[in-house]
Amino acid sequence: MLRPHGTYPIACKKKWRMAFTAISFVKLLHHLSKKALHMKPPTLFRSFSYLVIDVAPPHVSSPSRKLSNVDPKELGQMVGDKRLDSLTQFGDVKELAALLETDLKRGISDGDDDINRRKRVFGANVFTRPPSRGFLSFVLEAFKDSTIIILLFCAVLSLGFGIKQNGWKEGWYDGGSVILAVILVIGVSSVSNFNQSRQFKKLSAKSGNIGVEVVRGGRRQSVSISEVVVGDIVHLKIGDQVPADGLFLEGHSLKVDESSMSGESDHVNVNADANPFLLSGTKVADGFARMLVTSVGMNTAWGAMIGSITRELDEETPLQVRLKKLTSAIGKVGLFVAALVLVVSMMRYFTGNTRDDLGNREFVGRKTKFDDVMNAVVGIVAAAVTIVVVAIPEGLPLAVTLTLAYSMKKMMRDNAMVRRISACETMGSATTICTDKTGTLTMNEMKVSEVRVGKKLIAEGEKLAPSLVQLLKEGIGLNTTGSVYQPQEISLPEISGSPTEKALLSWAVMDLGMDIDEVKQHCEIIHVETFNSEKKRSGILMREKKGSNRVHTHWKGAAEMILAMCSNYYENTGEIMIMGDEERAQIGNIVKSMATKSLRCIAFAKKSSNGNEHIEKLEESELTLLGILGLRDPCRPGVKAAVESCKKAGVKIKMITGDNVHTARAIASECGILEPNEEFNEEAVVEGFQFRNYSAEERMDKIDRIRVMARSSPFDKLLMVQCLKHKGEVVAVTGDGTNDAPALKEADIGLSMGIEGTEVAKESSDIVILDDNFSSVVTVLRWGRCVYINIQRFIQFQLTVNIAALVINFVAAVSSGKVPLNAVQLLWVNLIMDTLGALALATEEPTNDLMKMPPVGRVEPLISKAMWRNLISQALYQVFVLLILQFKGRSIFEVNEKVKNTIIFNIFVLCQVFNEFNARKLEKKNIFEGLGKNKLFIVIVGLTVVLQVVLVELLKKFADTERLSWGQWGVCVAIGALSWPIGLLVKCVSVGPSK
């Protein structure tokens, strides 16, 4: 039974109160501890004084360190002006990285939220360029043509006199129709030029899309240069373009070419102490590094000056220069004919030798009204000016622009991005292609397929001595520009770097069980010698962090180069053996046998010193050979067929590679560059040092017989190009490295590799091969030839029209004082020729027949003998028919003068329509071959016919025509169609070998 509360003693009551208080306090503590543990971020409480500590997890900004508190302009000025004092205000590079919320090892977060936040605060890595030309500028440019201005002036005068004489209802037809026709020609020309300008701009934007390697979320990944943000950590190697302004974090032997910014050609050393600043748009000339991005886009030093360096898109190509000369020559002839027509027509009019449609004399002295005289004079002047308009083939430059734009677009689809448009046509004249091996002729997917330690072949799964394994891990894991990222223990590692580095790292990780982070933790790198294309090797000097503190030199490179530096070698048991002359010869033969199996041989060697010794540079003698790895890089599918295609086209292929002579010979034979009888021909396969040691006379004598140059340096490649050009060859060169830039610039056509190519190589090239495939090089060759042949097709078509129009109008003017084709009709013919004809004939795609023809020389005439044969025969036929109709047409068809002139106009246009088919094939008799593939040609021809019917049948007032009967239409079509059999018969006449 419970006692009442009041009956308890006072002492007992105190104890109960204390117990209750203790229980309540414990419950409160338990509640607070649970609340603190579940809070985000975790919060630590203390009673009474109440101290709160916020511990921010990575990539979560604390209120005092928000990105928005960092001034982008201050960062931009610091790097742009290279001000170390400004950097010290932030502390150092590491403290600035913390301020930008960047983990120096893992980079920024790879989440879209963090990247978008950085873009909002610091901007995107894009540049604001000057506005491109608007459509109106192209219209104004077309209006500036002097002949167009004269024609419009005449049309306005004709319009005024016509309205004054016949009133608004009837008087505007003559002058108004000319004005409308001129506006139509200007409009079509402006639209065409505007579209091509936009096309070139799009292609230019694509050429500026560069890939950059960044670290995000601990993973090394490639992103577009426009996606780089402030805080990114970027990996830089030789040949890379610095994507934004930033600071040097870590690296070795970094030298930067800042000539694009400062104009100075000397390379600038960049390091953590004296000069940590890296500027956007500069190029890495040597070494490698990691940089912290501090400014992007318009906040960079490059962005400040980008407005003045926009690349010119309307450069004149060599073919366009030649066509301008042709246009000028034809224009002078047209001007002379027009002047004669003007003088003769004026004389015939004012002497009373011209009659109107009713047979009455037009000029009867003072009885003729002033308005009639002025109308007649204006009409004669307009006709003469229109002859000039038709005679000047301004469609030729347009045809070049159209075919280049069309070809560039199609070449992009075929993995070739054109950076300089003149390269399209120059490639068609190429007589020699100097090509790389790795990645171009081969797959660029290297894999270690053979391992040699000493003189022994190591079978798959065979164990090596632990000491040798550790040295190989150091030699591969430290002496590399690649990286290994392990996302999870159960997943495969992600390996980044060049194909060679990826193959070596992959073998070390998979077969040796290498943990690259563990290797780096136990070693301190003292000095690095980056890969040198002359020495064909790279090396590191490193010190062990624990134990003996011994210093090791590690070299990696071409097997014969490393072998020459060694005096000892390891066996697979870990025992070190002396390398005498006999052993050296045996190992040399092993390397040779590996190379003859198309293996790329990479050797590893090391030399150790006591930790007490002071060593500043890498040892280069008395090394110990660790092992030799044979990397297989199979030939690309289709390369042999592509090489054979080039040979049939009369284009010589020369392979220039850094690999040894045995590997080079094996690959060249596999690709078909070396014929079976040339495989062991000493003159067909040479090494770089042999070629450079030849005398100038020997080089010029032997260069045609050289098919392969092995162990070549960049200077050897440049020397080869110079010698070939000196012999009159048109040389195309492929390259991917920084040191290939001189040869790429020297060549007539430089082709860089889009995947493995450095930015320096791409900048020096004319065309970027996006898939690094030799087959794409051959595709460029086919398109180059297609550009040239398309221009020839259009020249043949246009000159036929020019000759026929000039002759018929001149003869008619001299004989009768009137021209059968008036201004509007001639402007319509001009439109068919210049714009529609160019569009139809400039979009023919390349055929296999192009690769059966010999190369076109640079000085070959634009108009070949076959073209002269074709165009003269067609022009003579058209002139013959039209002159008969001019003098006998009224009696033949029993029609009046206006119907006769309409029939002449209709036949003249239809002759051009049918002759357009003839122009498709310059020498082939089957003009319809491949017609179904060019749907645009069919559409344009159909559109021309439809518009001609509308012009004749419906727009009588506009074109000054009369409706024709079905019979008259049938005769017109039949006469036009005769162009086909005439073209076929003419092609049976041989004019000698085609060029």
Q: Determine the Cα–Cα distance for residues 731 and 749; give it in Å rounded to an integer.
A: 7
Residue carrying structure tokens 């306005």: 156
Decide if 85 contacts 192 (C-beta within 8 A): no
Question: What band does 390 get if pLDDT is binned at 50, 70 and 90?
Answer: low
Average pLDDT, the chain: 81
Residue 56 scores a pLDDT above 60: no
**What's the pLDDT score for residue 49?**
41
In percent, the amount of the chain with pLDDT more than 90 equals 23
* Residue whose entry in the numeric block shows the structure tokens 């590679």: 657
Please give the single-letter amino acid code of residue 221: Q
Q: Are 166 and 372 in contact (CB under 8 A)?
A: no
Range ranked top by mean pLDDT from 55-59, 519-523, 805-809: 519-523
Q: Which residue, among 446, 441, 428, 443, has the nearest Cα to 774 in the 3D structure?
A: 441
Minimum mean pLDDT range among 254-263, 265-274, 746-755: 254-263
Q: What is the pLDDT of residue 851?
A: 85
Contact 929, 992 (CB under 8 A): no
Give the pLDDT confidence score for residue 313 in this predicted structure.
Answer: 41
Asked if the bond preceding 993 is cis, omega within 30° of 0, the reply is: no
Q: What pLDDT does 310 receive?
A: 43
Q: Do domains 72-115+230-301 and 392-405+790-988 have the same CATH topology?
A: no
| pLDDT for residue 733 | 93
Strongest mean pLDDT among 131-145, 186-200, 399-413, 758-772: 758-772
User: What is the model's pLDDT at position 824?
Assistant: 74
**CATH class label, 416-443+636-772:** alpha beta
Of the pLDDT bands very low, low, confident and very high (cuts 50, 70, 90), residue 261 is low
| Maximal CA-CA distance, the chain | 153
Cα-trace Rg, the chain: 40
Q: What is the DSSP string of 36-49?
A: HHHSSS-----TTT
| Per-residue tokens: 132 | 């491109």
Which are the contacts of 374, defined by CB distance < 8 A and separation ≥ 6?
157, 161
Judged by average pLDDT, the poorest of 501-510, 540-549, 565-574 is 540-549
> Domain 392-405+790-988: what homologous superfamily?
Calcium-transporting ATPase, transmembrane domain (1.20.1110.10)
Cα–Cα distance for residue pair 154/162, rounded to 1 Å: 12
Could you tell me which CATH number the domain at 447-487+496-632 has?
3.40.1110.10
Rounded distance, CA 141 to CA 701, Å? 53
Q: How many CB atoms lie within 10 A of CB 611?
A: 13
Q: Which two tokens stand for residue 917?
A: 């088919």
Which of 320-334, 738-752, 826-840 is the most confident on average? 738-752
Q: Is the pLDDT of residue 64 over 60?
A: no
Q: Is the pLDDT of residue 29 over 70?
A: no
What pLDDT, in 10s, does the model give residues 417-462? 887 777 777 888 889 999 988 878 888 788 999 999 999 999 888 8
Q: Are the beta carbons of 34 and 26 closer than 8 angstroms?
A: no
Q: Is 295 exposed, middle or buried (0-12, 13-18, 19+ CB in 10 A)?
A: buried
Q: How far apart are the C-alpha atoms of 180 and 172, rounded to whole Å?
A: 11
* Pairwise CA distance, residues 509 & 480, whole Å: 14
Amino acid letter for position 845 = E
Task: Output the pLDDT for position 45.
Answer: 40
Identify the residue with better confidence: 22 or 474. 474
Of 114, 145, 257, 436, which is the active-site residue? 436
Reported as a pLDDT band with limits 50, 70 and 90, residue 336 is: confident
436 is catalytic: yes
For 169-188, how does the pLDDT look when each residue is reduced to its tens digit (9 = 90+)?
A: 665 655 666 677 677 767 76
pLDDT, position 721: 93
Q: DSSP letter at 312? A: P
Which segment of 6-10, 190-194, 273-277 scores lowest on mean pLDDT? 6-10
| pLDDT: which is higher, 145 or 263 | 145
Q: Of the given ranges (103-107, 148-152, 739-743), which has the lowest mean pLDDT?
A: 148-152
| Residue 53 predicted with pLDDT over 60 | no
Token pair recorded at residue 30: 């338990």
Q: Kindly report, residue by residue over 851-890, the tens digit of the pLDDT.
A: 888 887 666 777 888 999 999 999 999 999 988 998 888 8
Angle between helices 774-816 and 318-350 (to 10 degrees): 10
Residue 127: phi and psi, rounded to 5, are: -110, 140
**225-259 pLDDT per residue, tens:** 888 999 999 998 887 888 889 999 988 888 888 87
Cα 814-819-821 angle, rounded to 5 deg: 150
Helix residue spans in 462-569 (DSSP H): 466-477, 499-511, 516-521, 559-563
The pLDDT-based confidence of 813 (bands split at 50, 70, 90) is: confident
72-115+230-301: what CATH class? mainly beta
pLDDT in tens, 590-632: 999 999 888 999 999 999 887 666 677 888 889 999 999 999 9
The domains of the chain are located at 72-115+230-301, 392-405+790-988, 416-443+636-772, 447-487+496-632
Stretch 798-810: mean pLDDT: 83
**Would you say residue 354 has pLDDT above 90?**
no
pLDDT tens readout for residues 103-142: 988 899 888 888 888 988 888 888 776 666 777 887 887 7
Which pLDDT score is estimated for 992?
63
Arithmetic mean of pLDDT, 625-645: 91
Tell me how far apart the alpha carbons of residues 272 and 438 are, in angstroms, rounded to a whole number. 35
Residue 536 has pLDDT above 90, yes or no: no
In eight-state DSSP terms, residue 58 is: T
